[in-house]
Amino acid sequence: MYGLLRVTEVGRLTESAAAEIAFQLLSSIAYLHANGICSRDLKLENILMVDKKSNRIKIIDFGLSRFFDPSACNPLSTMCGSPQYVAPEILELADNNRTGYTEAVDMWSAGVIIFILLAGYAPFDDDNDVMLYQKIKRGEHDMGDSVWDVISPDARDLVEKLLVVDPLVRLSPQQALMHPWLQNTLGPCPAIGQDLQKLNYCHQQQLHPCQEVC
């Protein structure tokens, strides 16, 4: 296995390859959230390619993951994450504008990852962390590069709907999996319930959810 970061360092992926990886990523997030687990540190460095002949991935490093109560309002409250991938609501904790956040932070990170897969560069970037965090809190992602001229409107739309500052408006894993870009690029996708059943089967085969997701 080798890191997905190595793949993106040589440039952006084709839309079909990006869609395959995005579907697996979003399915994994759906599984985690269905089991009350929030990763809080999704990033390219924590995604491995199974082999060079396929686009199958595995998510690793759940050191910052936590169980959460889905019935609670903003059940998580620890500031954590990686600079370019951290959600704005986590950063707002430092400004005392929030007392907590939800599992929706994982969907922001997914948006950053899919952006990089498609464009080959990060949506939020600055040598100064303070400026970087200001851009993230304002949702000022950079789609000015000419590469976006050749990326389909549907792919762009999914990214835009994931990189939404308001977590209540941001797409859920289930909504993202049903997005037209994935449906049209990959063909009819398995029903979300069926997909989660397969992932739960992996869990039942003694795969600890805080170590690895298949």
Q: Which residues, including other chains, have CB under 8 Å from residue 10's CB and lie 6 or more apart?
A: none
Q: Which residues, including other chains, have CB under 8 Å from residue 7's CB and lie 6 or more apart?
A: 13, 49
Instruction: Say whether 149 is catalytic.
Output: no
Distances (CA, A) of 142 to 96, 108, 136: 27, 15, 11
What secondary structure does DSSP assign to 41-90, as a single string? ---GGGEEES-TTS--EEE---TT-EE--TTSSS-B----S-TTT--HHH
Contact indicator for 145, 97 with CB cutoff of 8 Å:
no
Distances (CA, A) of 59 to 23, 56, 181, 213: 13, 10, 22, 6
Q: Which of 163, 183, 153 is nearest to 23 (CA)?
A: 183
Return the active site residues.
41
